[in-house]
Structure 1
Amino acid sequence: MKKNLFVPSKGEYVRGKRPTVGCILCSIVQNDPKVVNLKIFRSKSFTVAVNLYPYNPGHLMIFPNRHIEEIEKLSFSEVKELHKLTIISLKILRNLYSPHGFNIGYNLGKGSGASIEHLHLHIVPRYENELSFIDVLSGSKIIVEEPKDTVQKLKREYKKYAEELLAQ
């Protein structure tokens, strides 16, 4: 029999109990005090932030500073900047967390499971032996690092790449 551990705050978020803001990612970009701000880095066109409900330590989201919902709305220069941010983010995550792989992708539209209507790229570090006894017995995952601790670690690393990231 499969048991579940519940994380009520995530369930409430999925069901719509969120800060009263128009767009949570736009609010992060604007440093709105109504939202938990796990921002790590901001470039000309994008913000890098730790996911508030991470699948693993180091789970990042990269999103445009301007509100768009469709990837086709990115300019070619934004695509180039996003790719550069993605590559540097992978380098940083490899150095800090030594993952065995990554899941990188978008959830586009409600049919994909997207819960935020603002384009964002997920980068999730993955490990060969992720399934622990608690994962198997409870159908849940234990995250060993608080997102705010992840932010502090990653901010230090992004500062090392700031000049390269901000050069256009």
Structure 2
Amino acid sequence: MRVFPELAREFAAAEDGFERLWTPHRMAYIKGDRPSEAAGEGCPFCLAPQRADDAEGLIVHRGKHCYVVMNLFPYNPGHVLVCPYRHVALYVDLTDEEAEEFTSLTRDSLRALEKASAPLGFNIGMNQGAVAGAGVQAHLHQHVVPRWGGDSNFLPVIAQTKALPMLLEDVRTQLVAAWPR
């Protein structure tokens, strides 16, 4: 906490027993301050592989039909995404060749992460559609998230901790400004 650490500790932990992790950098993602998902135009998964420099596009590996890219909003260090080059929304829309490489690159991502950072486990999955939690619905992508004991994902379930995307002071300022006069 920046301004009111004593007050924050008192209010944040007293009522429900949860500790809070403040992650204000995630507000851009939550508010939807990201480009359009139209194929090629603003879709981040169409744009990333178009960059001449893989480091600039955060590309980890390029295959013939799919590629692996770092997640701009990672749950953990090493959180990567496996994406087809083709702009398709659903797993069932992949061709057989794309699906085969999609699976192969997922396995390769696991192997590379094991070698690079020795995680104790992984979350692997894709969210298809807004109600399933897809941040970018129009372009299929699979998450590969390395996991360690006590890390940041599923915190309320395993560690009685909540990750909050805004600081108390910032929320309060917004509420004061929006309060009915």
Matched, 1:139 2:177: no
Corresponding position: 1:12 with 2:35: no
The residue that corresponds to 2:141 in the other structure is 120
2:58: which partner in 1?
A: 38
Distance 1:109 1:72 in 2: 13
Deviations 1:82-104 (A, max 9, x none): 11111111111111111111110
Greater Rg over alpha carbons, structure: 2
Cα distance between partner residues in 1 of 2:133 and 2:120: 25
Residue in structure 1 matching 2:151, options 130, 134, 153 = 130
State how far apart, in whole Å, the 2-side matches of 1:125 and 1:72 are.
Answer: 25
- Looking at structure 1, the residues matched to 86 and 43 of structure 2 have their Cα atoms a distance apart, in angstroms, of 11
| CA distance 1:121–1:129, shift in 2 (3 Å) | same
Aligned residue pairs total: 137
**Kept in 1: contact 2:65–2:84 (CA 8 A):** yes
Aligned-partner Cα distance in 2 for 1:18–1:104: 24
- The 5 Å alignment of 1:78-157 reads 78-117=98-137, 118-130=139-151, 139-140=162-163
Residue 3 of structure 1 and its aligned partner are, at CA, apart by 5.5
Provide TM-score, normalisation by structure 1: 0.71
DSSP-derived class of the 1:69 partner: coil
- Unaligned stretches of 5+ in structure 2? 1-12, 165-181
Say if 1:83 and 1:138 are closer, same or farther in 2 by CA, change over 3 A: closer
1:107 is displaced (CA, Å) by: 0.5
Per the normalisation by structure 2, the TM-score is 0.66
Say if 1:82 and 1:137 are closer, same or farther in 2 by CA, change over 3 A: closer
